[in-house]
């Protein structure tokens, strides 16, 4: 059992570093295009709702906390704690997605989705920066939707874990799936920890 747990954890960590490289391609594109278009990116980022972004950051960090507590519950045999914390984690995750949906909706309404209907016009916006702004929004949508997809998968995983926890499958002797799912969840949180300042806060100094 111990060797299986060790193998499971190692396997999840190896998988997580593939995820680092997967997201890494987008971080690479971000790094390049932001360096090229600092002004345009700042102006575009300024269009994002920083408050919502900040709330989402807090929500995700809280969900990581409850996830850690859920693992703690499974390690110490506290079934009630495990179940409650799993539920809370899922609620926070769902809240995050809900807020994200609201944000996306606003962006579509303001014609900021970088498709055919993209509009970046004076007088509110500097037309010189239309192209870099469009690039920013492409990267914004690509990164946050990839992240959201991982969140959705995470919620699915949590639902499965909750089901088995409800059925009493986990104990101090066997709780590896809870730990391993926790690792995945924390990773998704870490991606957002980087996304928030990089996407939302670069235009904050503009007033």
Partner 1 sequence: MAAETIHTSPRVHYINANYGWKSWLFTRDHKRIALLYLASVTLFFFLGGAYAVALRLELLTPQGDLVSAETYNKLFTAHGILMVFFFLIPAIPAVLGNFLVPLMIGARDLAFPRINLLSWYIYMVGGLFTLYALIAGGVDTGWTFYTPYSSAFSNTHVLAVGIGIFITGFSSILTGLNFIVTIHTMRAPGMTWFRLPLFIWSHYATSLIMILGTPVIAITVLLVALERILKIGLFDPALGGDPVLFQHLFWFYSHPAVYIMILPSMGVISELVSNMTRKQIFGYKFVAFASIAIAVFGFLVWGHHLFTSSQSIYAGMIFSILSYAVSVPSAIKVFNWTATLYKGSISYQTPMLYAFGFIGLFLIGGMTGLFLAALGLDVHVHDTYFVVAHFHYIMVGGTVMGYLGGMHYWWPKISGRMYPEGWGRFSALVIFVGFNLTFFPQFIAGYMGMPRRYYAYAPDFQVLNVMSTAGASILGVGYLIPMVYFIWSMRYGPVAAANPWPSPSLEWQTSSPPPTENFEETPIVTWEAYQFDEQMMASSQRSAVSDELPASG
Partner 2 sequence: MSQHIVSAKIYSLIFAGLLVMTWVTYEVAQFDLGRLSVIVALTIATIKAVLVVLYFMHVRYSSRLTWVVVVSGFFWLAIMIGLTMSDYLTRPEGWMSFPR
Q: Which residues contact partner 2 by CB under 8 A? A: 5-6, 9-10, 13-14, 16-17, 20-21, 24, 27-28, 31-32, 35-36, 50, 54, 57-58, 61-62, 64-65, 67-69, 72, 75-76, 179, 182-183, 186-187, 189-190, 193-194, 196-198, 201-202, 204-205
130-166 and 79-109 helices, crossing angle to 10°: 160
Q: Quote the least distance from Cβ 31 to partner 1, whole Å.
A: 10
Residue 23: C-alpha distances to residues 19, 71, 89, 128, 200 (Å): 6, 26, 23, 30, 18
Scan residues 28-47 and list those touching partner 1 (CB under 8 A): 28-29, 32-33, 37
Cβ(127)–Cβ(101) below 8 Å: no
> Binding of partner 1 at residue 49 (CB under 8 A)?
no
Cβ(78)–Cβ(38) below 8 Å: no
Query: Which ranges of 110-205 would DSSP assign to H, the alpha helix?
Result: 130-166, 176-195
Choose the contact partner of 3 out of partner 2, partner 1, none; CB within 5 to 8 A by kind.
partner 1
Question: DSSP labels for 65-122?
Answer: HHHHHHHHHHHHT-HHHHHHHHHHHHHHHHHHHHHHHHHHHHHHHTT-SSSTT----T
Scan residues 90-149 and list those touching partner 1 (CB under 8 A): 114-116, 131-132, 134-135, 138-139, 142
Pick the closer one to partner 1 by CB: 20 or 153.
Answer: 20
Strand (E) or helix (H) holding 7? helix 2-36
Pick the closer one to partner 2 by CB: 54 or 101.
Answer: 54
Pick the closer one to partner 1 by CB: 26 or 193.
Answer: 26
Residues at the site binding partner 1, with contacts judged by CB under 8 A: 3, 6-7, 10-11, 14-15, 17-26, 28-29, 32-33, 37, 114-116, 131-132, 134-135, 138-139, 142
């Amino acid at each position: 059992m111990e060797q299986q747990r060790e193998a499971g954890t190692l396997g999840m960590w190896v998988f997580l570093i593939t995820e680092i490289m997967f997201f890494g391609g987008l971080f690479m594109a971000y790094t390049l295009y932001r360096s090229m278009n600092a002004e345009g990116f700042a102006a575009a980022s300024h269009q994002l709702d920083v408050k919502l972004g900040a709330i989402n950051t807090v929500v995700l960090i809280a969900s990581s906390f409850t996830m850690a507590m859920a693992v703690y519950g499974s390690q110490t045999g506290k079934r009630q704690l495990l179940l409650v914390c799993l539920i809370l984690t899922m609620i926070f995750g769902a809240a995050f997605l809900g807020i994200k949906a609201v944000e996306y909706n606003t962006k579509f309404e303001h014609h900021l989705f970088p498709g055919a209907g993209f509009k970046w016009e004076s007088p509110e916006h500097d037309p010189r920066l239309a192209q870099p702004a469009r690039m920013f929004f492409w990267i914004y949508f690509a990164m946050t939707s990839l992240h959201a997809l991982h969140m959705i998968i995470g919620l699915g995983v949590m639902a499965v874990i909750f089901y088995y926890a409800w059925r009493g499958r986990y104990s101090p002797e066997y709780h590896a799936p809870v730990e391993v799912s926790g690792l995945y969840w924390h990773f998704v949180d870490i991606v957002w920890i980087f996304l928030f300042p990089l996407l939302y806060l670069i235009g904050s100094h503009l007033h």
